[in-house]
Amino acid sequence: MTAIDLTMVKWAQAQFALTAMYHWLFVPLTLGLSFIVAFMETIYVRTGDERWRAITKFWMTLFGINFAIGIATGIILEFEFGTNWSKYSWMVGDIFGAPLAIEGIVAFFLEATFFAVMFFGWDRVSKGFHLFSTWMVAVGSNLSALWILVANSWMQYPVGMNFNPDSARFEMQNFWEILSSPVVIAKFTHTTVSSFIVASLFVITVASWYLLKGRHVEMAKKSVIIASVFGLLSTGMTALTGDQSAVVNAETQPMKLASYEGLYKGTTNAGIVAIGLLNHDKEPGDNSDPFRFEIKIPGLLSLLAKHDTNAFIPGIEDLLWGNEEQNIMGVDAKMKRGQQAITDLAGYKEAVKNGSSDEAELYLTRFEVNQDYLGYGYLTKPEDVVPPVETTFYSFHIMVILAGFFLLVFLAFLYYSMKDNLEQKKLVLRAGLVSFFLAMIASQAGWIVAEVGRQPWIIQDMMPIHVGASNISAGSVQTTFFMFAITFTLLLLAEITIMVKQIKKGPRGE
């Protein structure tokens, strides 16, 4: 195997993270605002009230600005698989390429077809067809997310495939198994409904600014009711899907689960840390306390992950060194089996090349015994499987704490909207004014938990990140990193500038 420039790998990771995080600034707003606009237009069509038409067109304009600028970062993400991760793309193209192709052909086509009607079809098509087009844009936007998340979920839980020892590629065996994976279901539902929260808080933030300024009061109050109800329902669904994500993580990525709770030693009746400060010097295997201080809710982690407060939740050290009592194999043993798989795969190829069928069959049989541990054979030490615990832990807890704050925001805005005195509640409006920005922090934190928490794997247990990297120089990746950083920042500033200008202008007709 050709030696990999680890400096290049780090820069490639940084570039992908940069692109993904910028892209994720736009995606949640697209996913949620598309449905909010559809709800508003539905009210307009059912009531015939022209005020709702003006409200719909205002939020639709903001949706369009975000949608257009967000496309650029998404396209670059897909290009990076070919430039920086060519070995990964070649080895999994049969599987990974399928959902991305479906996303481009079906979902994006659905969006693009009806997008033009939604924006330019006012008074050119019937109300019913225009409303149908708006709903199709919302459905298409979220279908795009589905196929992207199918691809991402397969990386985190590779099912429905087989490794071909002759081509050294992963090949699809069962598309429906990939599509119906529990990780896909949990990730898609949690990602979309949490994005609905972001979009709802965007509406509340803009409406709060109007109410504090005393501008477009009626539009703002009507918009708040839609956003509060949608956001409140989405918050409940986010909690349910978050619970499902914990269950799935416990089964498929226990190291990620242990990391975002800072759990080093496995235990029954495992608790969740409500508030805690990690011990920065803590290393697996030492006797130091993982926390400087912590406030823990006993039994809750076992309950959420296993639906049983007495269930055993393995910690980082159990997963790292093994736990015979709980039938957990240590990483060292997995590395030996992975190394044996690599050796047998090489032996098989050599035997095939030499025309020795009996020897090839022997090597293949031995390889198949250990192929599930293939990725571990490329690790240098057991500790490589431990992700950055502090980053994962704090990101997870920031996300959860902010989710509780958002619930209070939605309840307060809906309550005072129903009492028709929201514009008098300055403290509530100021909380609403900052809520969208906090929502973006929570959304980014969720992405960090999902992706940083699965390190060092590009395909869980099957391929470490450095194995999938391209053989290119670190300098070329550094150059494009800074080019992208400048470009994305300019795009973000452009969106903010255009958004602010449009918000100051307000809805037409008022």
Single-letter amino acid, residue 144: S
Element (H, E) at 491: helix 474-505
Q: Is the pLDDT of residue 502 over 80?
A: yes
Q: Is the pLDDT of residue 116 over 50?
A: yes
Element (H, E) at 393: helix 389-418
Q: What is the pLDDT of residues 375-386, one digit of tens each?
A: 999 999 999 999
My answer on whether omega of the bond before 456 falls inside 30° of 0, hence cis, is yes
The whole-angstrom separation of Cα 77 and Cα 50 is: 41
pLDDT for the residue numbered 405: 96
**C-alpha distance across the termini of the chain, in Å:** 67
Residues 6+ apart with CB under 8 A from 143: 103, 106, 107, 110
The whole-angstrom separation of Cα 209 and Cα 386 is: 44
Tokens 């957990």 identify what position? 328
The whole-angstrom separation of Cα 355 and Cα 348 is: 10
CA-closest candidate to residue 179, choices 157, 150, 144? 150
The whole-angstrom separation of Cα 489 and Cα 72 is: 12
- 278 within 8 A of 260, measured Cβ to Cβ: no
Q: What is the pLDDT of residues 206-238, one digit of tens each?
A: 999 999 999 999 999 999 999 999 999 999 999
- 387 within 8 A of 453, measured Cβ to Cβ: yes
Length of the chain equals 510
The DSSP 8-state label assigned to residue 272 in this structure reads E
Q: What is the pLDDT of residues 484-500, one digit of tens each?
A: 999 889 989 988 999 99
pLDDT for the residue numbered 4: 60
The whole-angstrom separation of Cα 196 and Cα 68 is: 19
Q: Is the pLDDT of residue 509 over 50?
A: no
- 39 within 8 A of 200, measured Cβ to Cβ: no
- 444 within 8 A of 29, measured Cβ to Cβ: no
- 315 within 8 A of 263, measured Cβ to Cβ: yes
pLDDT for the residue numbered 102: 82
Q: What is the pLDDT of residues 428-475, one digit of tens each?
A: 999 999 999 999 999 999 999 999 999 999 999 999 999 988 888 888
**For the packed helices 182-213 and 127-156, what is the interaxial angle rounded to 10 degrees?**
130
Residues 6+ apart with CB under 8 A from 353: none
Q: How many CA atoms lie within 13 A of 245 on its CB side?
A: 23
- 91 within 8 A of 158, measured Cβ to Cβ: no
- For the record, the structure tokens of 347 come out as 């032996």
- 51 within 8 A of 218, measured Cβ to Cβ: yes
The whole-angstrom separation of Cα 255 and Cα 262 is: 10
The whole-angstrom separation of Cα 315 and Cα 268 is: 11
CA-closest candidate to residue 391, choices 449, 460, 438, 446? 449
Q: Is the pLDDT of residue 312 over 90?
A: yes
Helix (H, G, I), strand (E, B) or coil at 69: helix
- 36 within 8 A of 55, measured Cβ to Cβ: no
- 41 within 8 A of 130, measured Cβ to Cβ: yes
The whole-angstrom separation of Cα 451 and Cα 443 is: 13
Element (H, E) at 210: helix 182-213
pLDDT for the residue numbered 181: 93
Strands (E) across 362-487 are located at 457-459, 463-464
pTM confidence score: 0.92
With vertex at residue 233, the alpha carbon angle to CA 40 and CA 63, rounded to the nearest 5 degrees, is 40
